[in-house]
Amino acid sequence: MGESLVGRLAKRLISQVTDPIKIEVCRGCLFGCPKGIIEPKDLEMEILDLVDQLGLEEELKEHLPDESVFHPTLCISISGCVNGCSRPYIKDIGLEGIVSLRKNQEKCNNCGACSEVCQEKAIHLEKDGFIINSQKCLSCGECARVCPNGALIIEKSGINLMVGGKLGRHPQIGHPIANFLTKDQAVQKLRQILAFILQEHRQGHNVEDALKLLEGSNQITSIGISTQ
Ligand code: SF4
Ligand code: SF4
Ligand code: SF4
């Protein structure tokens, strides 16, 4: 027989109270969301490994502020696509999947499916093809998924990385610090960021302060994070 509901709720409550690190993943990866671009669960596993290797959880636990019982110390969120269902832009560290498109204008028959599906109204159809407004395009890939002729195809997927998002008394949207990373590059950047948090925490800075330092251009440069 499975665990009782009360048991599960108690376990969840205890983990919320005792875990200084919270990793949230959009549900798309669990239920095969058709909009998913990356596998958030894979990244979650990599982050858990990094946290273990660095001993970050132990470090954060050692200096928990009194009110930590109500708040996790470090929140990380991973979304499979730009819909951001796990809200990566309001977490300390956020990651989301994006695509790059390849255009084959000669295959376009002006059917209009792409412009109909684009929620950003980023596609303008012309007599002899289409134009994508790069200022409006969010790289979700929906247009390529509906194009019947291969005039728009998903060339490759990537990961956007942002830091410093939060709600609370002074809400803030996370700052993008690197985009279109491969999974290995994202893991490398995450290792650098988590190691930086660890180093700063040992010197008395909490996660929020460490991330503020990181967002300063010098710090970002010094740990090799691209601001492309
Ligand atoms: S973030 Fe994207 S992939 Fe994840 S559940 Fe939402 S729509 Fe699906
Ligand atoms: S990738 Fe998404 S936002 Fe960009 S043009 Fe296609 S449907 Fe629109
Ligand atoms: S869906 Fe494909 S074929 Fe149709 S208008 Fe868009 S790019 Fe052209």
Q: Which ligand is nearest to the CA of 85?
A: 1
Ligand 2 near 123 CB (within 6 A): yes
CATH for 206? 3.30.413.10
pLDDT in tens, 206-227: 888 899 888 875 555 445 444 4
- Dihedral sign for Cα 58, 59, 63, 69, please: negative
Question: Residue 43, by phi and psi: left (phi above 0), alpha (psi -120 to 50) or beta?
Answer: alpha
Mutate to test the pocket of ligand 3, among 102, 108, 117, 143 (most ligand atoms within 8 A of CB): 108
Question: Which position has the higher pLDDT, 29 or 92?
Answer: 92
Which residue has the CA at smallest separation from atom 3 of ligand 1? 36
With a pLDDT cut of 90, the percent of the chain lying above it is 67
- Residue 91: name the closest of 104, 70, 73 by CA: 73
- Please indicate, yes or no, if residue 4 is contained in any of the structural domains: no
Q: Cα separations (Å) of 198 from 74, 101, 188, 195?
A: 11, 38, 15, 5
Structure tokens at 69: 């019982």
The pLDDT value recorded for residue 227 is 40
Which residue has the CA at smallest separation from atom 3 of ligand 3? 108
- Please indicate, yes or no, if residue 8 is contained in any of the structural domains: no
Question: Which position has the higher pLDDT, 87 or 127?
Answer: 87
Ligand 1 near 26 CB (within 6 A): yes
Ligand 1: centre distance to CA 95 (Å): 12
The pLDDT value recorded for residue 214 is 84
The pLDDT value recorded for residue 6 is 73
Ligand 2 near 140 CB (within 6 A): yes
Question: What is the residue range of 65's domain?
Answer: 18-98+156-222
- Please indicate, yes or no, if residue 200 is contained in any of the structural domains: yes
- Please indicate, yes or no, if residue 216 is contained in any of the structural domains: yes
- Please indicate, yes or no, if residue 41 is contained in any of the structural domains: yes
Which residue has the CA at smallest separation from atom 8 of ligand 1? 28
Exposed e or buried b for every residue in 154-183, given b needs 16+ CB within 10 A?
beebbbbbbbbbbeeeeeeebbebbbbbeb
pTM: 0.87
Ligand 3: centre distance to CA 149 (Å): 7
Which ligand 3 atom is nearest residue 112's CA?
5
Q: Cα separations (Å) of 60 from 18, 74, 78, 210, 212?
A: 11, 9, 21, 12, 17
Q: CB under 6 Å to ligand 3: residues?
A: 108-114, 125, 130, 147, 149, 151-152
Ligand 1: centre distance to CA 81 (Å): 5
Ligand 2: centre distance to CA 126 (Å): 17
Report the domain count for the chain.
1
d(CA 29, CA 95): 14
- Please indicate, yes or no, if residue 125 is contained in any of the structural domains: no
The confidence band for 228, taking pLDDT boundaries of 50, 70 and 90, is: very low
pLDDT in tens, 127-142: 888 999 999 999 999 9
- Please indicate, yes or no, if residue 140 is contained in any of the structural domains: no
The pLDDT value recorded for residue 89 is 97
- Please indicate, yes or no, if residue 11 is contained in any of the structural domains: no
Q: Name 100's bridge partners.
A: 156
Most confident of 1-10, 23-32, 53-62, 84-93: 84-93
Interior angle at CA 4, CA 1 and CA 29, nearest 5? 90
pLDDT in tens, 148-203: 999 999 999 999 999 999 998 899 999 999 999 999 999 999 999 999 999 999 98
Contact status, residue 81 vs residue 96, Cβ threshold 8 Å: yes
